[in-house]
Amino acid sequence: MKQLRKTEWQKGYLIKKNLALCAWVLMLLAGFAGILSHPENIPSLVACVLALAVQA
């Protein structure tokens, strides 16, 4: 178990996954906040959702 933790820390698996998840959620929230502040940009909402879906 100790070797597994050492390898995980060296490779950064957990850290990389958490950073990727945080970045994805931040972009999602920023996109929706920007779209909701200007409701006339509904096509932008669709583009934002598609861009985030492709990224994941």
pTM: 0.51
User: Residue 56: which pLDDT band, with cuts at 50, 70 and 90?
Assistant: low
- Over residues 1-5, the mean pLDDT reads 70
Radius of gyration of the chain (CA): 17
Question: What b/e string do you get for 21-30 counting C-beta neighbours within 10 Å, with b at 16 or more?
Answer: eeeeeeeeee
